[in-house]
Amino acid sequence: MKTGIGLLFFFAVFSALINDIANASEVPRMTKDELKELLGKPGVKVVDVRTARDWDGSAWKIKGAMRGDPEDIKSWMGNLDRNNAVVLYCA
């Protein structure tokens, strides 16, 4: 996945979340192998948008991921660099 595609993913997901207009099937997705290739590379930020309960109760977290409350996107989206690839994770 190239940075340009990451930015497209970033904007597509934010548009869907903020405007609440897209169906889940319309949001670009990647495989875990594609994500593994990106982890640790400069210019890639992973945001875990699981609920606080799921985040706190999970033994499995992506190393280096930040948590972003899906109910309060505006509180954390300003901390992201729009020039980098941003991957939102929810499982």
Q: pLDDT averaged over the chain?
A: 77
> 80 with 5: CB under 8 angstroms?
no
Residue 13's domain comprises 3-89
By three-state DSSP, how is residue 6 classified?
A: helix
pLDDT band at 25 (very low <50, low <70, confident <90, very high): low
The reported pLDDT for the residue numbered 10 is: 54
| DSSP-assigned letter for residue 65 | P
**Res 57 pLDDT > 70:** yes
Cα dihedral: 40, 18, 32, 26 (round 10): -140
Give me the mean pLDDT over the 6-10 stretch: 51
> Mean of the pLDDT values across residues 34-46?
88
Domain count of the fold of the chain: 1
Q: What is the pLDDT of residue 23?
A: 54
The C-alpha atoms of residue 46 and residue 49 are separated, in whole angstroms, by: 9
What's residue 35's pLDDT?
87
